Amino acid sequence: MFQGTNASSGIGIGKAVIVEEVNLVIKRETVADAAAEVARFKGALDRTMKETEEMAADLATRVGEKEAEIMNGHLMLLMDPMLTGEVENLISGEQICGEYAIEQVFNMYANVFASMDDELMQQRATDMRDLKTRLQKVMMGVASVNIATLPAGTILVAKDLTPSMTAGINPQNVMGIVTELGGKTSHSAILARALEIPAVVAVTGFMEHVKNGDDVVLDGSTGVVYVNPDPALAAEYQGKREAFLKEKKELEQYIGKPTITRDGVSVELVANIGKPEDVDKVLQYDGEGVGLFRTEFLFMDRDCMPTEDEQFEAYKTVAEKLNGKPVIIRTLDIGGDKEIPYMGLTKDENPFLGYRAIRLCLDRKDDIYRPQLRALLRASAYGNIKIMIPMVTCLDELREAKALIEEIKAELTEKGIAFNKEIQVGIMVETAAASLMADVFAKEADFFSIGTNDLTQYTMSVDRGNEKISYLYSTFNPAVLRSIRHVITCAREAGIMVGMCGEAASDPLMIPLLLAFGLNEFSMSASAILRSRKMITEYSTETLKDVAERAMMFTTAKEVEEYMKAFVG
């Protein structure tokens, strides 16, 4: 058995096809005619750009606009005159062959990206290496592995899947993906999820233990992989696969159904998104709105700030597509684990306790916060937008943000620009301070959304990304549960809406407790919506109140979790 990182859920069963990139040997060769070599490079560049455009168009029709964006990102890199200019200068300046110049320049950029402490930037390094090899192959006349023609029943095994390789996959034939490298948020993992192909990544040393034609079974939810499993195990996973597919199909009956408990308590089941394109999946899985739009994703993967107009278009698109359903848009939450290189931020000693989210925005009103708030207000004329402020710790922050919003409203009124005058302004409750002061905040915020990812981190004083202390990171810890219950109670007493947009909102063991506490809104990844709706409609809050009372009597996270496991079954 091999254990990797679960990257795309489902059970994959099939025969291994090992996809190994040819090892290109790139030597430093001198050239007599540098101008001709530059022309040869430009020819390869044109061809690679054309291929990339075709891949993007193919992805856009076959998978979705969001996935095509990855290829469009590659195209932008290829069109960057700085990057290609450096290759040309190197060819001319040192009279060397194009392949070697590409090697030097692209490796240099890839190494810079790889050394950054940010997963997204590291992904950029993969993109750079992918492009480098593609360009070199075109120059050398080496054909690429044709992923599009893999036979039916394939389990694709590779060291790492480059986005361009993943883009060519035919999901009819590829039953699963196993890679030695990569992470949950790598572009290839994102694509695997979009194509709904089960995938396990980061299986260290896997290629040494598998050969072409071996039987492979993988579980994309647990990250487990088997090579040549015995018949009993293979049959067990065949059963799991059938159950997974059956459940997925069965859940479709919950499309269009109300989210209401057996005793008539209605709650809202909404989605977390990062980009406007994500709305398609929200509608596909019948989300009742958006509970968290993480706007920082509009600022990432680019080299300058999105303008007010660009932001306006993005917010307007989401509001219009959701056609009157609530859309909670969180203002920029940068800092902590999310960095943006072009913003000129220095590295904090303790990033999660540092210059992050609302702290940074209030300090940079002119270039960051004002344009974002203006864009949000302008877009509010096109749908049911609500503004949410992240990482609030004290009332002054909420008051200052609200004052700024009022200032911008006055400007817009003066200029005759439309906006929703009654727009709601709420906060994320994700710090210990905000939770303890929830009764006070409830008098001045229009709604709450509990961010359990951070609330757990700040309550337990445990870095949410640190593997070594991850045993402490549990939302089932009684301290965190008390905090959640307190926030919900304060909101209900004040008569404001209280939702949750942290990962706990879709945890099957947590949903019964949250219903018992009186949570109004559950926000989660779109693909979890139907499963959660099914659960919610099967419970009665009256019964759950007894369950929650018992759960809250336990003193350790383990006891609570085990009790809930036994209850949910």
Shortest CB 443 distance to ligand PEP, Å? 23
Residue 304 has what DSSP assignment? S
Shortest CB 184 distance to ligand PEP, Å? 13
Shortest CB 330 distance to ligand PEP, Å? 8
Residue of 183, 187, 184 lying closest to 165 (CA atoms)? 187
Select the binding partner of residue 452 from ligand PEP, Mg ion, none (C-beta < 5 to 8 A, by kind): ligand PEP
Residue of 256, 251, 271 lying closest to 522 (CA atoms)? 271
With beta carbons less than 8 A apart as the criterion, state whether 124 and 300 touch.
Answer: no
* CA separation for the pair 298, 294 (Å, rounded): 8
Q: Among 74, 187, 361, 490, which one carries the catalytic annotation?
A: 187
In the complex with Mg ion, the residue whose CB is nearer, 128 or 455, is: 455
Helix H segments across 117-230? 119-140, 163-167, 187-195
Residue of 214, 260, 221 lying closest to 18 (CA atoms)? 214
CA angle 32, 35, 40 (to 5 degrees): 95
Select the binding partner of residue 501 from ligand PEP, Mg ion, none (C-beta < 5 to 8 A, by kind): ligand PEP
Total Cβ atoms within 10 A of residue 214:
17
Q: Among 97, 361, 490, 501, which one carries the catalytic annotation?
A: 501
Supply φ then ψ for residue 330, to 5 degrees. Answer: -90, 135
Query: What type of residue sits at position 544?
Result: L
Which x/- pattern, by CB under 5 A, does the window 397-436 give for Mg ion? Answer: ---------------------------------x------
Shortest CB 514 distance to ligand PEP, Å? 13
In the complex with ligand PEP, the residue whose CB is nearer, 201 or 484, is: 484
Residue 368 has what DSSP assignment? I
Select the binding partner of residue 512 from Mg ion, ligand PEP, none (C-beta < 5 to 8 A, by kind): none
Residue of 204, 159, 163, 207 lying closest to 186 (CA atoms)? 163
Shortest CB 480 distance to ligand PEP, Å? 11
In the complex with ligand PEP, the residue whose CB is nearer, 192 or 428, is: 428
The answer to whether 296 contacts Mg ion (rule: CB under 5 A) is no
In the complex with Mg ion, the residue whose CB is nearer, 71 or 388, is: 388
Q: Which residues pair with 384 in a beta bridge?
A: 326
Select the binding partner of residue 502 from Mg ion, ligand PEP, none (C-beta < 5 to 8 A, by kind): ligand PEP
Q: How many angstroms separate the Cα of 45 from the Cα of each of 50, 397, 417?
A: 9, 50, 45
In the complex with Mg ion, the residue whose CB is nearer, 383 or 451, is: 451
Q: Which residue has tokens 């190994």?
A: 20
Is residue 187 part of the annotated active site? The answer reads yes
Shortest CB 347 distance to Mg ion, Å? 19
Q: Which residues bind ligand PEP (CB under 6 A)?
A: 292, 294, 333, 430, 451-454, 501-502
461 contacts: CB under 8 Å, gap ≥ 6: none
Select the binding partner of residue 294 from ligand PEP, Mg ion, none (C-beta < 5 to 8 A, by kind): ligand PEP
The answer to whether 454 contacts Mg ion (rule: CB under 5 A) is yes
In the complex with ligand PEP, the residue whose CB is nearer, 145 or 433, is: 433
Shortest CB 420 distance to Mg ion, Å? 25
Using CB under 5 A as the binding criterion, the count of chain residues that bind Mg ion stands at 3
Supply φ then ψ for residue 195, to 5 degrees. Answer: -80, -5
Q: Which residue is nearest to Mg ion (CB)?
A: 454
82 contacts: CB under 8 Å, gap ≥ 6: none
In the complex with Mg ion, the residue whose CB is nearer, 296 or 561, is: 296
* CA separation for the pair 485, 482 (Å, rounded): 5
Q: How far does CA 180 lie from the centroid of its chain?
A: 21
In the complex with ligand PEP, the residue whose CB is nearer, 383 or 502, is: 502
* CA separation for the pair 405, 416 (Å, rounded): 16
Shortest CB 538 distance to Mg ion, Å? 30
Is residue 490 part of the annotated active site? The answer reads no
Q: How would you classify residue 551: left for phi > 0, otherwise alpha for psi between -120 and 50, otherwise beta?
A: alpha
The answer to whether 451 contacts Mg ion (rule: CB under 5 A) is yes
The answer to whether 335 contacts Mg ion (rule: CB under 5 A) is no
* CA separation for the pair 93, 384 (Å, rounded): 58
> Which residues make up the interface to Mg ion (CB under 5 A)?
430, 451, 454
Catalytic residues: 187, 501
